[in-house]
Structure 1
């Protein structure tokens, strides 16, 4: 069972490739399922004045869903296309997020924390945001947001749960308790997480989440899925074989798949 549930496409502005190019590439790679999961439109900042090319414009959202659904039908019997969304959690904007999540026939919605206020901690152009900050406080704010995202009921799984480490800005203190509390919130609310392989090509040089967090997730009974977080078709499924190997080392034997917001575990 080869799957990749985390992909981005030209509509979001910072990726390349059409949706169909990703689907065709997935079929070439022998994937059983491919998840199309572009970024939710920006809700809490003005796209005209914020950093450019962060997410698809709001007017593109229905077109994105329509194209995903058309590809799902077109490639039936060749590769299973799952229609997804990477839905940012932004504290204070829950009603707007809920409207988007409820408006379309998603197979799954990823809950990801990128923003702490107007600061996107995952954007390489905004690393200056760390300057002068208490890193332990930033990590605390981040993991608190992850726990709040899990509690909303909007999402099917949490994306790259420790992406706060992406650029290597580590605090001096021990963040194990914060990480564990976030995972405990995921378990408490019945969500899955992903093993996001893209961390291997980031300054963190480690998947999201770490092996230690995966081990704790397994002990809590949290299901896991996998994704490459590809932003170009050539990177589809990149490092996912390594991700599967790591999952087996930790003790996982099943992957979470999603259709119609229902989770099914499959052996791998």
Structure 2
């Protein structure tokens, strides 16, 4: 089962390629399922006063959904398109997040933490924020937000669960217990995680999550899906063969897929 559940397109402001280009690329490379999952619009900062290209403008959200479902029908004989959203978890904005999630018939919603307050820890333009903060405290705040996201009931799976390591900033103290607490919250919530291969093209040069975290997820019997986090059509499914090898190495033999907010496990078949 060749799948890629994490993709972005030009509407989000920091990716390129139209949705249809991703669909056509998915057909070309032989994907069975393609998840369209662009970023939720910003809720807690003024886009006009913030850094450019952070997320899809709110007025584009219905256009994204309409186009995605149109393409789902247009290409249904060639590829199985699942329509999703990467729904940032922003503490204190739960009502607004739920309103967006409830407004559309998503196949799945990814719960990702990018922001701690107004600081986007995943933005290369904001890495100076690490100089002003204790790294262990950043990790503690980050995983606390992941735990709250898991318990919110909004999401079908947690995206790139250890993305806080993206730029290679790590505390001197061990954060194993923080990672485990986050996974235990995921388990308690009955949701899944993803193995996001994009970390291999980041400064950390490691998938999200690490093998250590992935092995604990296997121990807890947490379902896993995979995604390339492609921001260009040519990166669709990038490194997913390596992601599947990683999953097999720690004992996974199934992948989580989603339709109409229902999870279906399928055999790994890359």
Q: Same fold, TM exceeding 0.5?
A: yes
Q: CA deviation at 1:77?
A: 1.5
Secondary structure class of the residue paired with 1:17:
coil
Q: CA deviation at 1:58?
A: 0.3
| CA distances 1:20-77 after superposition (whole Å, capped 9, x unpaired) | 0000000001000000000000000000000110111000000000000000000012
Corresponding residue for residue 209 of structure 2: 209
Corresponding residue for residue 221 of structure 1: 221
- TM-score, normalised with respect to structure 1: 1.00
* Distance in 1 (alpha carbons) for counterparts of 2:192 and 2:201: 23
Please list, as runs of the form range in 1=range in 2, the aligned pairs for 1:29-68 lying within 5 A after superposition.
29-68=29-68
Corresponding residue for residue 80 of structure 2: 80
Q: Is 1:175–2:158 an aligned residue pair?
A: no
Q: CA deviation at 1:169?
A: 0.3
Corresponding residue for residue 257 of structure 1: 257
Corresponding residue for residue 12 of structure 1: 12
Specify every segment of 5 or more residues in structure 1 that has no aligned partner in the other structure, as ranges.
none
Aligned length: 268
* Distance in 1 (alpha carbons) for counterparts of 2:250 and 2:22: 30
Q: Is 1:120–2:95 an aligned residue pair?
A: no
Aligned CA RMSD, in angstroms, stands at 0.4
* Distance in 1 (alpha carbons) for counterparts of 2:106 and 2:124: 29
| CA distances 1:155-178 after superposition (whole Å, capped 9, x unpaired) | 000000000000000000000000
Corresponding residue for residue 134 of structure 2: 134
Specify every segment of 5 or more residues in structure 2 that has no aligned partner in the other structure, as ranges.
none
Secondary structure class of the residue paired with 2:110:
strand
* Distance in 1 (alpha carbons) for counterparts of 2:10 and 2:44: 22
Corresponding residue for residue 100 of structure 1: 100
* Distance in 2 (alpha carbons) for counterparts of 1:32 and 1:55: 28
